[in-house]
Amino acid sequence: MGQLEGKTAVVLGAASEGNMGQTVARLFAKEGAKVMVAGRKEAPLAALADEIGGAYALCDIAKKPEVNAMADKAVTTFGRVDIAINTTGWGLLASLEEITDEQLDQIVDLQFKGVHHFLQAFVRVMSAQAPTGGSLISLSSATTKAILTNHAAYIGTKRGSEALIECVANDYGHLGIKANTVSPAFTDSPMTHASFQVPGLTDAFLPRYPMGRLNTVEDVAHACLWLSTDQAYVTGANIQPNGGLIMRGNPQAGDVAAAVGAAMAKLQG
């Protein structure tokens, strides 16, 4: 029997092949859960839902009516929602001075207001299921503990989302609702493989991981799986499945430039 046998789950942000959301959805289905995948692109969501024997919903987390509709569709489809996971995010690389008002509005809508919409919708659903409640998870980032150059808006909104999760954990635990964040670092995934083509980039990051490798999407998915089981008596926590990066900290812009420069010089020499 799988670890999530008999449970239902919603995974938001699962519309790109091999990303965090799709990896979580596949693992949860393998562990016995009925899974609804959600995001902004219908074709890949429909294909994934068919693959895992689940369902799908179109949803832009920045649009509150769509988030509420997704939560309601999950209840209609499954009868209840035991697990809801938000894997959306935007790795905006921009300094405090150069970020535009439009970019700032977009990242606040996605990574703060959107998380608020997500939590509000599923607290509503899970409160009605008391005392069994459910498990809420939102992906954050190791950068909220290990600052990275030129990520102020990204880090600020992710850290704000961690505070939202802590408030939900505090305010709704008595209803059986637990809420946690999971924080990957620079991740080995199909979404980041283009970055690996930059000579020397991974050389700047690898020494910062005590366990000797970048974290993978599978590492993150398994952290989400554990938090979603009944055995995880954990709420209000920020789980770091990144091999200990936050102990050593992220490389800064100068470190990355030096590593890339050294690699380029080696290639040219």
Pick 188 or 209 by higher pLDDT: 209
Residue 130 counted as domain residue: yes
pLDDT at 13 over 80: yes
Please answer whether residues 210 and 248 qualify as being in contact, where contact means their C-beta atoms are separated by less than 8 angstroms. yes
Distance, CA of 241 to CA of 232 (rounded, Å): 15
Single pTM value for the model: 0.94
> DSSP of 104-164, one letter per residue?
HHHHHIIIIIHHHHHHHHHHHHHHTTTTS-EEEEEE--GGGTS--TT-HHHHHHHHHHHHH
Confidence grade of residue 190 (pLDDT, cut at 50, 70, 90): low
Amino acid 268: pLDDT: 79
Confidence grade of residue 193 (pLDDT, cut at 50, 70, 90): low
Residue 261 counted as domain residue: no
Pick 1 or 205 by higher pLDDT: 205
pLDDT at 25 over 60: yes
Average pLDDT over residues 170-199: 83
Q: Which residue range is the domain that position 156 belongs to?
A: 8-195+211-245
- pLDDT tens digit sequence for 131-147: 999 999 999 999 999 99
- pLDDT tens digit sequence for 203-215: 888 999 999 999 9
Q: Domain with 101 in it: what CATH number?
A: 3.40.50.720
Please answer whether residues 183 and 239 qualify as being in contact, where contact means their C-beta atoms are separated by less than 8 angstroms. yes
Q: What is the mean pLDDT of the chain?
A: 93
pLDDT at 231 over 80: yes
Residue 61 counted as domain residue: yes
**Into how many domains does the chain fold?**
1
Amino acid 257: pLDDT: 78
Amino acid 192: pLDDT: 62
Amino acid 112: pLDDT: 98
Amino acid 195: pLDDT: 54
Average pLDDT over residues 31-56: 98
pLDDT at 264 over 80: no
Residue 101 counted as domain residue: yes
**Region label for 15, one of left (φ > 0), alpha (ψ between -120 and 50) or beta (otherwise):** alpha
Residue 262 counted as domain residue: no
Helices (H), the chain: 20-30, 42-52, 64-78, 101-108, 114-127, 152-172, 193-196, 201-205, 217-228, 245-248, 253-268
Residue 138 counted as domain residue: yes
Residue 33 counted as domain residue: yes
**Percentage of the chain modeled with pLDDT above 70:** 96
Average pLDDT over residues 26-43: 98
pLDDT at 269 over 80: no
Confidence grade of residue 183 (pLDDT, cut at 50, 70, 90): very high
Residue 263 counted as domain residue: no
